[in-house]
């Protein structure tokens, strides 16, 4: 008889955001007139910018003519896009990344979920806690994390690196031996980040111990402070111990368009094998390339006009972040993040649990946020609000909270 992958049965509940959507739908069903403001999920609200729309139109017209029609894209991405990324995202920041070290994909969620396929079942994983749930769930599906202990809310074979107000959201280096470390900076959900010197310690640690850093830089466009790296490859030694995942979702609004990429330096070797070669093989076998039209839109993001538009979009959301941050501070909350990231992480008042605060905000203020405990045990007692709403709704939400 066919046996299924039982590791799926070990996963607790459903994906966090499906749980939230169900709760909100049930509330809306009972309160049809409720004017709910959603500051929960990390989806964007600003439309695609003029440069991107123009590129989409142009590429669409090309597809209508047999002379300029494009079929399957190259598995690893079109050269025009890989060149633009290498130049504008890396070399302009002094990072030595070649176009053929960039693997274009349909987004950072797929890459961050799929990358663990390259590693053995007994590889030891470490995550910062709280954490973007995809890293944990994808490793759990592969059976790498042992069992989920519902009493502690922890996987038995996963190393948790707590990030809380007590350590100013700076994780300590692992005390036990680990093989893979996921770092998401600026961080989802806490909105905090590391200074260059702090990140350097992680690179040095990985090179010392042979651990691999999977660096998720999906929010790099939101960095406003100088001593924060946009890429881990700004740190000396990172080419030997890290790969980096990026997205077009949060800078250019591609959440519904789908485009991302992973950078794997050719020098990065583990267990005598180049990870670059492995990922190329994996991509070639399981992925038929991101669509031509979308890759042209991605190229437009790196044009002079496109880069300016990204800055405007990011500026719009960061204005929201300031409204949320300052509004919450005025209302007496302890607030973190929102300076180098579109996420604001707050301590729940009166020692409420994260889900109790979720219910309070939903029912009393008709505001949807995300309970911190959904991101890991150290997220308990915290709550995430996002700056991705409209400015008007963000202002209205904060008025409601301050009342």
The residues of the shown chain that bind ligand PLP, judged by CB under 6 A, are: 42, 107-109, 112, 132, 184, 188, 216, 218, 247, 249, 255, 260
Q: Residue 82 to residues 276, 296, 309, 343: CA-CA distances in angstroms?
A: 15, 11, 20, 29
As measured in angstroms, the least distance from the Cβ of 261 to ligand PLP is 9
Are the beta carbons of 261 and 246 closer than 8 angstroms?
yes
Provide the β-strand partners of residue 253: none
CB of 77 or CB of 366, closer to ligand PLP: 77
CB of 389 or CB of 401, closer to ligand PLP: 389
Q: Give the pairing of strands 260-263 and 269-270.
A: unpaired
Structure tokens at 279: 């990922």
CB of 107 or CB of 371, closer to ligand PLP: 107
CB of 260 or CB of 327, closer to ligand PLP: 260
Burial profile 248-284: b = 16 or more Cβ within 10 angstroms, e = fewer: bbbbbbbbebbbbbbbbbeebebeeeebbebbbebbe
Q: Please, how many CA atoms are within 13 Å of residue 183, restricted to the half-sphere of its CB?
A: 33
As measured in angstroms, the least distance from the Cβ of 137 to ligand PLP is 13
As measured in angstroms, the least distance from the Cβ of 216 to ligand PLP is 5
As measured in angstroms, the least distance from the Cβ of 260 to ligand PLP is 4
As measured in angstroms, the least distance from the Cβ of 41 to ligand PLP is 8
Q: Tell me which residue has tokens 């640690």.
A: 205
Q: Tell me which residue has tokens 């500026």.
A: 315
As measured in angstroms, the least distance from the Cβ of 248 to ligand PLP is 7
CB of 41 or CB of 173, closer to ligand PLP: 41
CB of 251 or CB of 366, closer to ligand PLP: 251
Provide the β-strand partners of residue 368: 38
Q: Tell me which residue has tokens 């300590």.
A: 172
Nearest CA-CA partner of 246 in 215, 288, 224 = 215
Q: Where are the alpha helices (DSSP H) in 249-390?
A: 249-252, 275-286, 292-301, 304-330, 354-365
CB of 221 or CB of 401, closer to ligand PLP: 221
Are the beta carbons of 298 and 64 closer than 8 angstroms?
no
CB of 254 or CB of 357, closer to ligand PLP: 254
As measured in angstroms, the least distance from the Cβ of 108 to ligand PLP is 4
As measured in angstroms, the least distance from the Cβ of 107 to ligand PLP is 3
Long-range contacts of 346-349 (CB under 8 A, 24+ apart): 346/382, 346/383, 346/384, 346/385, 347/165, 347/381, 347/382, 347/383, 348/372, 348/381, 348/382, 348/383
CB of 366 or CB of 382, closer to ligand PLP: 382
As measured in angstroms, the least distance from the Cβ of 187 to ligand PLP is 8
Nearest CA-CA partner of 162 in 150, 179, 174 = 174
């Amino acid at each position: 008889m066919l046996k299924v992958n039982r590791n799926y049965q070990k996963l607790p509940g459903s994906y966090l955001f499906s749980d939230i959507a169900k709760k909100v739908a049930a509330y809306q069903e009972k309160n049809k007139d409720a004017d709910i403001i959603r500051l929960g999920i990390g989806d964007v609200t600003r439309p695609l910018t003029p440069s991107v729309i123009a590129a989409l139109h142009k590429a669409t017209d090309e597809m209508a003519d047999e002379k300029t029609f494009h079929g399957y894209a190259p598995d690893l991405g079109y050269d025009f896009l890989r060149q633009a990324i290498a130049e504008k995202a890396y070399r302009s920041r002094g990072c030595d990344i070649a176009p053929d070290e960039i693997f274009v994909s349909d987004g950072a969620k797929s890459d961050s979920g799929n990358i663990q396929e390259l590693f053995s079942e007994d590889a030891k994983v470490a995550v910062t806690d709280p954490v973007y749930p995809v890293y944990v769930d994808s490793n759990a599906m592969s059976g790498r994390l042992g069992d989920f202990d519902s009493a502690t809310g922890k996987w038995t074979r996963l190393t948790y690196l707590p990030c809380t107000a007590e350590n100013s959201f700076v994780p300590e280096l692992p005390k036990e031996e680990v093989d893979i470390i996921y770092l998401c900076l600026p961080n989802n959900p806490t909105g905090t980040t590391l200074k260059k010197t702090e990140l350097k310690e992680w690179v040095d640690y990985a090179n010392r111990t042979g651990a691999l850093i999977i660096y998720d830089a999906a929010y790099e466009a939101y960095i406003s402070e100088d001593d924060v790296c946009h890429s881990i490859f700004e740190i000396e030694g990172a080419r030997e111990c890290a790969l980096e995942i990026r997205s077009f979702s949060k800078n250019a609004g591609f959440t519904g368009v789908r485009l991302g990429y992973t950078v794997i330096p050719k020098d990065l070797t583990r267990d005598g094998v180049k990870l670059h070669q492995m990922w190329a093989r994996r991509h070639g076998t399981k992925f038929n390339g991101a669509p031509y039209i979308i890759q042209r839109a991605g190229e437009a993001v790196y044009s002079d006009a496109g880069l300016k538009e990204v800055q405007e979009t990011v500026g719009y959301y960061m204005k929201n972040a300031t409204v949320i941050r300052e509004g919450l501070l005025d209302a007496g909350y302890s607030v973190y993040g929102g300076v180098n990231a579109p996420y604001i992480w707050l301590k729940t008042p009166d020692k409420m649990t994260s889900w109790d605060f979720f219910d309070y905000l939903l029912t009393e203020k008709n505001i949807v946020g995300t309970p911190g405990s959904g991101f890991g045990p150290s997220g308990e007692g915290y709550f995430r609000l996002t700056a991705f709403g409209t400015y008007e709704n963000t202002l209205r939400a904060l008025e409601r909270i301050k009342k």
